[in-house]
Amino acid sequence: MVHLPQELIDAIVDNVANTKEWHQAQDLDTLKACALAARVFVVPCQRHLFRSYVLRPHRVTDICTRLIGSPTLASYIQDLEISIWSKALDTTIIELLASFFPLLTRLDRLVVDWCYHSPNWALCPTTLRTALIGILSRPTLRCLGLRDCPSMPASVIRHALASFQEVAFIHISVYEDETSPLMAKVPRGNASLRRLLIRPILKGPGEDTTLQTFLLGERSGGFLRGLQHLQLSLSHPGTLERCEEIARACSTSLQHMVIDFNTMQYHPIPPLPNMPAMRVLTLVCCARRLRITTPLRSIVASLPVCMPGLEAVNLVLDSDILDSAQPNHKNMDEALGNLPSLRKVHFTIACSHHASRDIADVYRKTLPLTESVGLLSFKICDVDGLPSRAHTMYCFSN
């Protein structure tokens, strides 16, 4: 075999591992085959093969036991998603996790999922809370996601806002607490929060806004003031669930906002606050029929007032079938024409219908002013071309 510099071999493996879209899975079979080609390929392939792990309750014992026995492989993990399920958390598993977490010396992105049926933070075993708090002190940790926790102490939320560059709160409620002895031992980082995702808890509108209230309160530490990227994932029609107040709190620094309407199609939402620093707006909607829905049209129509400096608008439409009866887009077209700095209006369309590729021509005809100045662009893909909402990791930068 020709002897190649290790740097070149590393570059070859990196190229094999890189996917067209960052959220898509790596080609594990090819990486495994490369690892068997020669000894010099083993380590660079292992770095990619062990980069991401999802720990589900039924796999914790097997995975942790193997990686504790091979700490070098554990050190390659950069992305970890762990599910906390009370029925599967016996003493043995908690001890395994406590031994496994310190091995994650390169951990970059962490998601902790409470799986709905688990107890809140206060009712979790102390040994488990100690292990989880210990992993929050990893100096390499850059991104943290907390998901489906019915009651999270404010001291943990405050630590996350102060210590990490990117944070996701999904279906989280908050209770105010004095800093616990466990949290007091964790050194607070000095990272500047620049990316935040909020998905309010799934109850009736206004029933649980404890997270929003905390983020807007004085005790949150003012960490929203320098925020550059805000992603809002809405749960209830006709309301922003106080998320518009959060947008207002960081309006002077916010440059990119993502609003995910999920399956909401017919209800306009309240006006957005004025955000003069905003440069990029992304609107996402998942609807059965492929169309620009009412909430999306109402937002775009308001852009000349609330985001006059906007440079790019991205519309992501995820649908099952093509809707032949498209609504009138005149107000939307005129609003886009009244944005003097606008350079791009990009559609990403994921639809399984065979005729979905014709939708670009439909939108070019219904947005004639925008089309005439060359702002429209399109990407048509199948449903696998978009990151899954089921995985919190997709909301973080790569």
Per-residue pLDDT reduced to its tens digit, 123-179: 777 888 888 888 888 889 999 999 888 788 888 888 899 889 999 998 888 888 765
On the question of pLDDT at 197 being above 50, the answer is yes
HSE-up of 208 (CA within 13 Å, CB side)? 18
Q: Mean per-residue pLDDT for 304-321? A: 90
pLDDT-derived band at 308, boundaries 50, 70, 90: very high
pLDDT of residue 22: 45
**DSSP calls for 319-387:** EEEE-SSPPP-HHHHHHHHT-TT--EEEEEEEE-STTGGGHHHHHHHHSHHHHHTT-EEEEEE-GGGS-
Q: Mean per-residue pLDDT for 55-69? A: 88
On the question of pLDDT at 398 being above 60, the answer is yes
Beta carbons within 10 angstroms of residue 56's beta carbon? 14
Q: Mean per-residue pLDDT for 240-259? A: 87
Q: Mean per-residue pLDDT for 308-324? A: 85
What mean pLDDT is reported for the chain? Answer: 82
Rounded distance between C-alpha atoms, residue 169 and residue 166, angstroms: 10
Q: Mean per-residue pLDDT for 199-225? A: 73
On the question of pLDDT at 212 being above 50, the answer is yes
pLDDT of residue 23: 46
Among candidates 115, 48, 126, 49, which has minimal Cα distance to 88?
115
Rounded distance between C-alpha atoms, residue 33 and residue 21, angstroms: 22
Q: Is 52 helix (H, G, I), strand (E, B) or coil?
A: strand
DSSP state, 17?
Answer: H
Rounded distance between C-alpha atoms, residue 67 and residue 75, angstroms: 9
- 198 within 8 A of 243, measured Cβ to Cβ: yes
- Judging by DSSP bridges, how do beta strands 52-55 and 166-170 pair with one another? unpaired
pLDDT of residue 336: 95
* % residues pLDDT > 70 (the chain): 81
On the question of pLDDT at 342 being above 80, the answer is yes
Helical (H) or strand (E) element with 81: strand 79-83
Higher pLDDT, 88 or 145: 145
Out of 77-81, 105-109, 262-266, 282-286, which region has the weakest mean confidence (pLDDT)? Answer: 262-266
Which alpha helices (DSSP H) does 5-84 contain, by range?
6-17, 28-35, 42-49, 60-68, 71-74
DSSP state, 257?
Answer: E
Higher pLDDT, 383 or 29: 29
Tokens at 104, concatenated: 């994650």
Higher pLDDT, 84 or 210: 210
Phi and psi, residue 97, nearest 5°: -60, -40
Annotated domain spans of the chain: 1-49, 256-398
Beta carbons within 10 angstroms of residue 85's beta carbon? 17
Q: What is the pTM of this model?
A: 0.85
Phi and psi, residue 342, nearest 5°: -65, 130
